[in-house]
């Protein structure tokens, strides 16, 4: 699962998918503490263009999405909506709606070893249901 999160439900149309991708880029950029200007410099566009991507005003091409992912140390797929067909909603968005955003920001600050330990604790707690 991606370590950056959006705040909207899964998209219902192509335009919604564009906005979703932009929101994922924004969430990931902010979680990593990178400004729009710094991201723009890394991917070779203006910061205004990054704003347009993040708002969903302009679609992000696949090649640009790859550059964005590289600049944010993420996978391009992290920015593409994954719909749980049975539930009809994106589980990441559901987690954000439930208040997981602050927890995820702190999670990203942890070392890989501590992240693994925290995931093990979460797995153990989930097994108690």
Average pLDDT over all residues of the chain: 78
Within a domain: 83: yes
Within a domain: 42: yes
Q: What is the pLDDT of residue 15?
A: 73
Within a domain: 106: no
What number is the average pLDDT over the span 18-46?
Answer: 92
Rounded CA separation 82/46 (Å):
29
Within a domain: 44: yes
What number is the average pLDDT over the span 42-47?
Answer: 96
Number of domains making up the chain: 1
Within a domain: 18: yes
Within a domain: 50: yes
């Amino acid at each position: 699962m991606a370590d950056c999160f959006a705040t909207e439900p899964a998209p219902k149309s192509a335009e919604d998918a564009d906005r979703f991708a932009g929101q994922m880029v924004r969430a990931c950029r902010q979680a990593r503490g990178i400004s729009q200007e710094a991201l723009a410099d890394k991917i070779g566009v203006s910061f205004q263009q990054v704003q347009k991507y993040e708002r969903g005003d302009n679609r992000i091409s696949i090649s640009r999405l790859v550059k964005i992912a590289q600049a944010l140390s993420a996978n391009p797929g992290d920015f593409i909506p994954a719909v749980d067909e049975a539930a009809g909603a994106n589980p990441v968005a559901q987690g954000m709606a439930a208040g997981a955003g602050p927890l995820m920001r702190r999670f990203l600050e942890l070392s890989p070893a501590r992240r693994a330990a925290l995931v093990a604790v979460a797995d153990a707690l989930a097994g108690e249901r």
